[in-house]
């Protein structure tokens, strides 16, 4: 345990935090725009990764590159626990306790999307068909500035901070390979925080809550195999279009009739392809869709229930089917203590508790969820929309952009969380 004596010996001047971070704002904007101009898709973040590594190198921050291809982990050791009697190591089987933390991780994703940018800004994407349309350029800049700040003020925190720069959040997912590569080990991470710039919330607000913040993401493909023929002679066929129509309707009953109304879930059929001509009965129909839910109890449920409905309908119409199901990301679930840490520090930064939005759940998904399955943590939304500046397009829109004022707020929340976490 950190002793009371050493705890009292640290006086963190939090008013200083804001001033120093405000001074970083021009660099934050510069780094973010530089990254925005050079967006890269998942696992191809070579330029991005090289830029991050170059900055860490410049600042003398210990880091490891090439984790899960383009991922980087920076390690910043606070100096406060050196020579002050706080050197004990964690015992075998010791439970996580916010009172006895050693290592806090901060996670940022770095990848862009296959979207052609339509913004006419000087820093618009220079890579054809690729765009930072989700704000991960901002996440990388915030994490870099946080690393820089913490490396300058090592005396202010009594533990180790690992900053995880992760590839491929938009798919196929960089969190899991980074965990498999050992980023949460050696030293072992006790807790993790991360943020998403969020245009669904206005600048000056923070969405943070205990429990599920974002949903599980699963997807399915199904091909219905009927028997084709003449549009005027349906009795000689098994019409895959009719079978597909029944399936699409029946799948709606899973959420409406099988899922507890107090649980939230979505089953969306996003694709339905069949047929070639008005007078030809289609032999095959192909549909695909996505499933979302918050409650981990559904982990084994939807794939099995969807196939059950498809099988039953196909059988009753004389068709057969191929079915594939993938579980991409689990639900993103925040630890209560860590959510409270973020909430309290965010409230300091935005200077009003009114700006804390607990009803900020979304059926969108995030592979931050894999980190949160391993260690307690909190993922939160940092409001970044500003309609007055025409910065309110939704994420993944070709005109997505955000109010860069949020960058400094993100750094300040991270820094305050670090200092509070180890205090
Ligand atoms: Zn996204
Ligand atoms: Zn995103």
Q: What string of pLDDT tens digits covers the 423 residues of the chain?
A: 233 333 333 455 667 778 889 899 999 999 999 999 999 999 999 999 999 999 999 999 999 999 999 999 999 999 875 444 443 443 443 444 444 569 999 999 999 999 999 999 999 999 999 999 999 999 999 999 999 999 999 998 989 999 999 999 999 999 999 999 999 999 999 999 999 999 999 999 999 999 999 999 999 999 999 999 999 999 999 999 999 999 999 999 999 999 999 999 999 999 999 999 999 999 999 999 999 999 999 999 999 999 999 999 999 999 999 999 999 999 999 999 999 999 999 999 987 777 999 999 999 999 999 999 999 999 999 999 999 999 999 999 999 999 999 999 999 999 999 999 998
Cα-based angle 223, 225, 226 (whole degrees, multiple of 5): 140
Residue 209 CA to ligand 1 center (angstroms) comes to 20
For residue 89, the CA-to-ligand 2 centroid distance in Å is 36
- Residue-level pLDDT at 14: 63
CA of 180 to the centre of ligand 1 (A): 23
Question: What is the set of active-site residues?
Answer: 111, 169
Q: Whose atoms come closest to the Cα of 382: which ligand?
A: 2
Alpha carbon distance 105, 102 (integer Å):
10
Q: Where are the alpha helices (DSSP H) in 322-396?
A: 336-350, 368-374
H or E stretch at 129: none
Rounded to the nearest whole angstrom, what is the distance from the C-alpha of residue 361 to the centroid of ligand 1? 15
- pLDDT value for 322: 98
Rg (C-alpha) for the chain, rounded Å, is 24
Task: Say if residue 291 is exposed, middle or buried (CB neighbours under 10 Å; 0-12, 13-18, 19+).
Answer: buried
Which ligand has an atom closest to residue 198 CA?
2
Nearest bound ligand to the CA of residue 395 = 1
Distance 224 CA to ligand 2 centre (A): 34
Between the CA of 229 and the centroid of ligand 1 the distance, in Å, is: 43
Neighbours of ion ligand 2 (CB under 5 A): 134
Ligand 2 centroid to 115 CA: how many Å? Answer: 14
Q: Mark residue 200 as left, alpha or beta (left: phi above 0; alpha: psi -120 to 50; beta: remaining).
A: alpha
Q: Which ligand has its closest atom nearest to the C-alpha of 108?
A: 2
Ligand 2 centroid–CA 168 distance in Å is 10
Nearest to 381 by CA among 238, 236, 209, 263: 209
Q: Which ligand is nearest to the CA of 138?
A: 2
Query: How would you classify residue 340: left for phi > 0, otherwise alpha for psi between -120 and 50, otherwise beta?
Result: alpha
Give the separation between CA 126 and CA 143, rounded to whole angstroms.
Answer: 23
Phi, psi torsion values for 102, nearest 5 degrees: -120, -40
What pLDDT, on a 0 to 100 scale, did the predictor assign at position 221? 98
**Nearest ligand, CA 166:** 2
* pLDDT given for residue 352 in this prediction: 74
Determine the distance separating the centroid of ligand 1 and the alpha carbon of 179, expressed in angstroms. 20
Q: Note whether 286 and 222 are within 8 A (CB).
A: yes
Task: Yes or no: say if 162 and 75 are a contact pair by the CB < 8 Å rule.
Answer: yes
Per-residue confidence (pLDDT) for residue 100, from 0 to 100: 54
The two structure tokens encoding residue 407: 């960058």
d(CA 168, CA 224): 32
Q: Which residues are within 8 A (CB) of 259 and not within 5 positions of it... i.e. 6 or more apart?
A: 265, 293, 298
Name the nearest CA neighbour of 376 among 71, 91, 97, 74.
97
| Separate counts of helices (H) and strands (E) for the chain | 10, 16
Distance 323 CA to ligand 1 centre (A): 27
pTM, rounded to two decimals? 0.90
CA of residue 73 to ligand 2 center, whole Å = 19
Q: Whose CA is closest to 100, among 163, 188, 210?
A: 188
By three-state DSSP, how is residue 71 classified? strand
| Sign of the Cα pseudo-torsion (401, 403, 408, 413, in order) | negative
Closest CA to 271 of 336, 223, 321: 223
Decide: 416 and 349 in contact? Cβ < 8 Å: yes
């Amino acid at each position: 345990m950190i002793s009371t004596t050493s705890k009292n010996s640290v006086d963190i001047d939090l008013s200083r935090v804001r001033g120093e971070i405000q001074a970083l704002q021009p660099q934050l904007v510069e780094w973010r725009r530089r990254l925005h101009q050079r967006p890269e898709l998942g696992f191809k973040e070579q330029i991005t990764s090289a830029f991050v590594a170059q900055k860490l190198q410049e600042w003398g921050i210990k880091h490891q590159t090439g984790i899960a291809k383009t991922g980087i982990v920076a390690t910043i050791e606070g100096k406060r626990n050196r020579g002050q009697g706080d050197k004990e190591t964690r015992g075998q089987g010791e439970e996580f306790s916010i009172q006895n933390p050693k290592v806090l991780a901060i996670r940022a994703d770095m990848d862009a999307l296959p979207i052609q940018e339509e913004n006419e800004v000087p820093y618009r994407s220079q890579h054809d068909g690729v765009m930072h349309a989700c704000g991960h350029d901002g996440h990388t800049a915030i994490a870099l500035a946080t690393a820089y700040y913490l490396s300058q003020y090592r005396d202010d925190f009594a533990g180790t901070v690992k900053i995880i720069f992760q590839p491929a959040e938009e798919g196929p997912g960089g969190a899991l390979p980074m965990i498999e590569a050992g980023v949460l080990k050696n030293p072992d991470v006790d807790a993790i925080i991360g943020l998403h710039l969020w245009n669904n919330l206005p600048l000056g607000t923070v969405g943070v809550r205990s429990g599920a913040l974002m949903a599980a993401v699963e997807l399915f493909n199904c091909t219905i195999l009927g028997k084709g023929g003449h549009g005027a002679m349906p009795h000689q066929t098994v019409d895959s279009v009719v079978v597909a129509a029944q399936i699409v309707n029946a799948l709606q009953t899973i959420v409406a009739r099988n899922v507890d109304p107090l649980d939230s879930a979505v089953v969306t059929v996003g694709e339905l392809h069949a047929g070639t001509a008005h007078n030809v009965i289609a032999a095959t129909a192909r549909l695909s869709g996505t499933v979302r839910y918050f409650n981990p109890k559904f982990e084994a449920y939807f794939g099995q229930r969807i196939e059950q409905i498809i099988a039953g309908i196909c059988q009753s119409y004389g068709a057969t089917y191929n079915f594939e199901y993938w579980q991409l990301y689990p639900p993103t679930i925040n630890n209560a203590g860590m959510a409270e840490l973020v909430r309290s520090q965010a409230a300091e930064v935005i200077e009003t508790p009114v700006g804390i939005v607990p009803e900020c759940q979304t059926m969108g998904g995030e592979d931050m969820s894999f980190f949160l399955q391993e260690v307690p943590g909190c993922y939160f939304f940092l409001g970044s929309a500003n309609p007055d500046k025409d910065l309110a397009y939704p994420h993944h829109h070709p005109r997505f952009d955000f109010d860069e004022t949020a960058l400094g707020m993100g750094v300040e929340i991270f820094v305050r969380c670090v200092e509070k976490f180890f205090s």
